[in-house]
Structure 1
Amino acid sequence: MYNLFKAVIAIGLALSLTACGSMPTASRSAMPDDTMLGFSAPDVRIESFTVTVPRSLKVNDRNLYYPLGDIVWRGEPRGDRHAQVEAIFEQGLRNAAQAVAGQRAVRLDVQVLRFHSLSEKARYTVGGVHDIDFRYRLVDMATGQQIGPAKDVNADLDGLGGETALAAEARGETQKARIIGHLSKVFVEELTMPGGHVNSELGLLQAINNI
């Protein structure tokens, strides 16, 4: 009943809006879900990383305005969505490593918690929000010791819709390219800025995602 209520709100909002607007090494020794820990530390460099996308995350490939699920991804052909999301995070980390050049070598362990992008129906009408959540930890490469506590990060990105989305595609700014670039920026901010990344305020659609 709760999920149905959330879906009805999302669909109603989408329809109303339509009417109105028409380098490092990727290690495979990722940690178990219940032991993920993390911390944003200064003066580090990314020596290696792991990315875990738990198979327990539910995929929804239905073409609805707001498909319910943990993973909603249509920026690539149908396939193993968990593996596709993993590859997106890995590329984002490779790009970020070039801008994180501190003295302390660390391994960055990332666990994806949610990756809810846009369905085809939403992308080519009203747009929305790429709702991306993950958890990470840092491990000192020299000692093997974890640095600080775990940190959960909300990394939402505006999802382009309609003519704006089509124009972006024509420029080569695909959903995948935009999300990889965004994740790279988020990781750099987490590892170089006091307090780390600050999630964007993206309005009502973002609020619905957080219900």
Structure 2
Amino acid sequence: MNSMRAVVLIGLGAGVTACSTSDIPSRHTGIDELPLVETSVLPQVDAGEATVISTPEAVEARQLVELPPAEEQVEPVVPIASPVTVHAVKVRVPRSLKVSERNRYLPFGDIVWREDPIGDRHAQVQKIMQEALIRGVTPLEGPGKVDVEVELVRFHAITEKARYTTGGVHAITFDLTLRDPETGAMVVPQRRIRADLEAYGGQQAINAEALGLTQKERISDHLTEVIREELTSPEGYQNAKLGFFQLLNKL
């Protein structure tokens, strides 16, 4: 069981004391009730370091813990009980990721996104991911309390040219780490998640849009299920096999 749950399950019961449920805030019943106002106003933060905090308690915790850059971290894994309750979600979209606005059949660059007006693509995809991931973790309840940290590696939707002809693959890759919200200690080591989704093309894309199934809608729903499966399934999220276009995205 080579996944996040493998480490979590090894420590079943060992981390309950450090993550007791006595100070866990009441759970929300839906994404509309989640208090996103404090951190979802993107102009107030650098989207390259954007942080999404789901509770006021998490804001205070983040102010007390200064984390070194991911590449410098060498930390022991602290076991925690499984399943978990997610205390906060942090999404980073590094400014080093290159944005492409070129209208090609195949994606170019690290970020390819079209369904928002031309602007700060880093901030746009950060917002998409933050809302989808929070929606995915909101229903989770367990004795272990964790912070979810995500750093985007690739976000390839498809261009206008591919959207109305061949279709393709929404190729999304990110690194996921779980941390103890009290200490900032790593609970589960970083894991790379590849969350590819079939991208509709031609008449299929036109029919989907007529039903309200835009690229943004489909990608958001997909990411919601990806994070939920990753944190609850014994084997974690397993990327789909999507054939030729998926292989081209890896070149």
Q: Report TM bin, short chain.
A: 0.7 to 0.9
- The residue type equivalent to 1:122 in the other structure is A
Q: What is the number of equivalent residue pairs in this alignment?
A: 189
**Alignment partner, residue 160 of structure 2:** 120
In the alignment, which of 96, 101, 111 is matched to residue 71 of structure 1?
111
Q: Percent identity?
A: 44
Tell me the CA shift for residue 41 of structure 1.
Answer: 7.4
Structure 2: how far apart are the matches of 1:24 and 1:144? 22
In the alignment, which of 170, 183, 190 is matched to residue 130 of structure 1?
170
5+ residue gaps, structure 1, are 1-22
Tell me the CA shift for residue 99 of structure 1.
Answer: 2.8
After superposition, where does 1:104-183 map in structure 2 within 5 Å? 104-183=144-223
- Tell whether 2:213 aligns with 1:198: no
Structure 1: how far apart are the matches of 2:92 and 2:184? 19
Structure 1: how far apart are the matches of 2:241 and 2:223? 16
TM-score, normalised with respect to structure 2: 0.70
In the alignment, which of 49, 58, 69 is matched to residue 32 of structure 1?
69
Structure 1: how far apart are the matches of 2:153 and 2:145? 25
Tell me the CA shift for residue 34 of structure 1.
Answer: 2.1
Single out whichever of 26-35 and 155-164 deviates more from structure 2. Answer: 26-35
Tell me the CA shift for residue 24 of structure 1.
Answer: 6.6
Is the strand fraction higher in 1 or 2?
Answer: 1
After superposition, where does 1:45-60 map in structure 2 within 5 Å? 45-60=85-100
- The residue type equivalent to 1:100 in the other structure is L
Asked if the contact 1:40–1:191 (Cα under 8 Å) also holds between the matched residues in 2, the reply is: no
TM-score, normalised with respect to structure 1: 0.82
Asked if the contact 1:24–1:49 (Cα under 8 Å) also holds between the matched residues in 2, the reply is: no
Single out whichever of 178-187 and 38-47 deviates more from structure 2. Answer: 38-47
5+ residue gaps, structure 2, are 1-33, 37-51, 54-58
Tell me the CA shift for residue 199 of structure 1.
Answer: 0.2
**Alignment partner, residue 5 of structure 1:** none
Q: Deviations over 1:1-29 (max 9, x none)?
A: xxxxxxxxxxxxxxxxxxxxxx2762396
Which secondary structure state, in structure 1, belongs to the residue aligned with residue 198 of structure 2? strand
Asked if the contact 1:44–1:104 (Cα under 8 Å) also holds between the matched residues in 2, the reply is: yes
Q: Deviations over 1:69-128 (max 9, x none)?
A: 000011211110000110011011121122322221211010000001100000011100
Indicate the RMSD between aligned Cα atoms, in angstroms: 2.3
**Alignment partner, residue 140 of structure 2:** 100
